[in-house]
Amino acid sequence: MSRIDRYLLGQLLSVFAFFTLVLVAVYWVNRAARLFDAVVGGGQSFWVFLELSALTLPNVFRVVLPLSAFAAAVYVAIRMTRDNELVVLQGTGLSFARLLRPVALFGLVVALMLGVLMHVLSPMSRAQLAERQVAIAGNISARLLRAGEFLQPTDRIVVFIREIAEDGTLLDVFLSDGRDPARTVEYNASQALLVTGADSAVLVMLDGVALAYTKAEDRLTTISFDELTYDIGALIAPDTRRVDVVELPTSALLAVDDRTRAAMGLTLAEVRFELASRVAQPLLAVITALVGFAALFLGQFSRLGAWRQVLAGIIVLALIQLLANASAGVALRSADAAFLAFAPVVAGLAVVAAMLYWAARRKGRA
């Protein structure tokens, strides 16, 4: 590696690290604010919020790294153009294609990071996040143990607890069960205890009254009780969550057979396209870096800045993303079309080649 390559690579990596930190912070804070309202507002602790936030970070990096690569390439190209460094390098005989060599190497470094995320970290974090969300949704204690609020842990069930004593006793409990369309039962108890086990949760109500209203007979039945148990665990729906293909590590996707795939509810097209995407998407980081740097070759120096070239690069990346979305829709319908995951990469390389050809032709006419 020549000194010029090391210089450009060092500039790109340092700026890339800065943009990554900024974009990750902005993106994560935006998601964390919504996650905080959903988790803490749902009765969970702050530590649960931190755990879920940490599990979202690999996916945040997966989204941000290509954007940071593009921003770093554009920033370095603009700075070198403004400082006349590119003019000096071209004056020494370096072609446009030669100047892109360290940029391609930089893109490969980013692609390696994305490869680790796509094949290992992101599937692992998504699987753990899905499991934790299911566990939180089934945590009946967190959904019930909030005083002074009318809570609806599931459809047609309303719970109100006036106060929770320091020893965990629930004071002045109201529970309305309207799951049966023909009959509504309301329970009022002066005290109650929530007894939870590994697979069960029972609400033990003490010194209360039950009111049962039958619509067909238009009759209200009142029953006083000293102690009554109510199966809260029955309100928790069993986990029937479908395994998402993005939650499986690459080793598991390669080893899955037809029987296992059918049991997971996955199609062969989904598995093949996911495997192809985990190779193709990291390569798009190389494309974004090359497009960002090569876009600055398209125009001449202007006192108004290089906004036209930057806008052209953004439009190119937007078109490549539209192509990626369209090819994904086709590939997910046919197992033999998984190769379409590489269509955006091929299109990006063609665009970069066209940029180089245009820049070299314009320079030859000058």
What does the domain layout of the chain look like in residue ranges? 3-137+242-365, 146-235
- Cβ–Cβ < 8 Å for 292, 71: yes
Q: Which two tokens stand for residue 58?
A: 């690999």
228: left (phi over 0), alpha (psi -120 to 50) or beta: beta
Question: Which ranges of the chain have pLDDT less than 50?
Answer: 301
How are beta strands 201-214 and 183-196 bridged, if at all?
antiparallel
Quote the pLDDT of residue 45. Answer: 65
* DSSP codes of every residue in 149-171: SEEEEETTEEEEEEEE-TTS-EE
Model-level pTM? 0.71
The reported pLDDT for the residue numbered 344 is 93
pLDDT confidence of residue 71: 93
**pLDDT on residue 199:** 57
In sequence order, the 6+-apart residues with CB closer than 8 A to the CB of 71 are 15, 19, 23, 292
What is the H or E stretch that residue 188 is in? strand 183-196
Give the pLDDT score at 110.
95
CA distance 135 to 157: 20
CA 288-89-308 angle, 5° bins: 45
What CA–CA distance (Å, rounded) separates 319 from 23?
A: 22
> Tell me, what's the pLDDT at 98?
85
